[in-house]
Each structure stands twice: as structure tokens, then as C-alpha cells.
Amino acid sequence: MELLLLYYIVTNLLAFVSYFVDKRRSRVGAWRISERTLLTMAWIGGAFGAYVAMRVFRHKTLKPKFRIGVPVAILVHAAFTGWLIF
């Protein structure tokens, strides 16, 4: 269980920082992190961090694949974690 918690902490921090970096780069016209990479980070475990970053930085909130995909990833990971616990 401790390893799963550590995994979720690390992936959520990485997702949060990646969304922040992508938002900052979008403002200055620099090289961006691909949407595929950002969504993959959410689906491999960083969905909560991605969702918080989307709200805090107002980044990718208008794109349907993020607006729908990230909350669905949160539900999938919550269900998976609940299944493991019970």
C-alpha cells in the first residue's frame, strides 16, 4: 500500500509540474509538452494533479478531451484503488 501511495504522489506531482511548465511555455511561445504526454500523465496515475493544475493555471480547460478525460481518469484510479483496498 505504501508503494501505491508513493506512486500516486510522484505521478501527481509530475503531472502538476508538467501542466505548469506547459502553461508557462504557451505564454512565451516556446516548445510545448504534447497533449498526448499530458493526458498520458493523467492516465498513468497523475489525474488528480492534472485536474488541480488545470483549475489553478486555467490550462486545457476548454478542450473536451481534457475536460472529460482527466475527471474520468480520476474515477478510474479511484475505482482501481478502492478495488485494491477492499
Q: Tens-digit pLDDT profile for the chain (86 aa)?
A: 899 999 999 999 999 999 999 999 999 999 999 999 999 999 999 999 999 999 999 999 999 999 999 999 999 999 999 999 88
Domain spans in the chain, listed from the N-terminal domain onward = 2-85
Say whether 33 sits in a helix, a strand or coil.
coil
Separation between Cα atoms, residue 31 and residue 80, nearest integer Å = 35
Check if the beta carbon of residue 33 is closer than 8 Å to that of residue 39.
Answer: no
Give the pTM: 0.92
Instruction: Write down the pLDDT at residue 1.
Output: 84
| The three three-digit cell numbers of residue 11, written as one number | 505521478
